[in-house]
Amino acid sequence: MTPAEVENTIEAAVLCSPSPLLTRDLRYMLEGCATHLQIDRALEALKTRWEPRGAQLLLTASGWAFVSRIDVRLYLNRLNPEKLVQLTRSAMETLAIIAYRQPATRGDIEQIRGVTVRIQTIQTLEARGWIDVIGVRKTPGSPSLYATTKKFLDDLGLQSLDQLPELVATDLPAMLAAQLSGQASMPGPQNEEASPS
């Protein structure tokens, strides 16, 4: 295959896929037709080609996907308005603590925040698919250990937690809210607690 054919094939595969595609999936698809280097070059070429458009090619934790650019999401939301889960400052703080200190128990979160964490706050974050129980701490009461999910990374447009902004400020929720605010399906903090979906 020529470089243009490799690029066109990958573009079609990612555009037509109902879910993100891993690089290994693309390599499997083009096995015997293109080298790994050709595939990597095609992905970079596609990223560059789509950069000025309304959508962009992005590698997230789940794989390669075309996503709308932040500057056009306001208009796209008019066509398909989503019911957003509104998050309180408490929920944003809880999410930030889990993201940066995971795995964390409710007790860990309460110790850092200095206040009790409502179960509804945890349930809201679980319902959104941003956190999950990954085990229990081997201490009295066996408290659940929470960690962020692939969906959390995907919604932020990140491949790994290493790409979260560095902790240079004491306001974790504000930093995380800034990251989340650029995503159409990700709300910023609000004044009222939402009930879980």
Tell me the residue range of the domain where 166 lies. 87-190
| Whether the predicted pLDDT of 141 surpasses 60 | yes
Burial degree of 55 (CB within 10 A; 0-12, 13-18, 19+): middle
Who's near 16: CB < 8 A, 6+ residues apart? none
Domain membership of residue 113 (yes or no) is: yes
Q: Pick the more confident residue, 113 or 7.
A: 7
For 83, the token pair is: 């019911």
Burial degree of 14 (CB within 10 A; 0-12, 13-18, 19+): buried
The answer on 175 and 99 residing in a single domain is: yes
Domains held by the chain: number: 2
CB 144 within 8 A of CB 105: yes
The answer on 71 and 92 residing in a single domain is: no
Domain membership of residue 195 (yes or no) is: no
Banded pLDDT at 63 (limits 50, 70, 90): very high
**Amino acid 188: pLDDT:** 34
**Amino acid 10: pLDDT:** 96
The answer on 155 and 60 residing in a single domain is: no
| Whether the predicted pLDDT of 83 surpasses 70 | no
Which of 57, 78, 99 is at the close of a domain? 78
For 23, the token pair is: 């690089």
Banded pLDDT at 82 (limits 50, 70, 90): low
Banded pLDDT at 168 (limits 50, 70, 90): low
The answer on 113 and 48 residing in a single domain is: no
Of 13, 10, 19, residue with least CA distance to 61: 19
| CATH code where residue 172 lies | 1.10.10.10
The answer on 92 and 74 residing in a single domain is: no
Banded pLDDT at 190 (limits 50, 70, 90): very low
**Amino acid 71: pLDDT:** 86
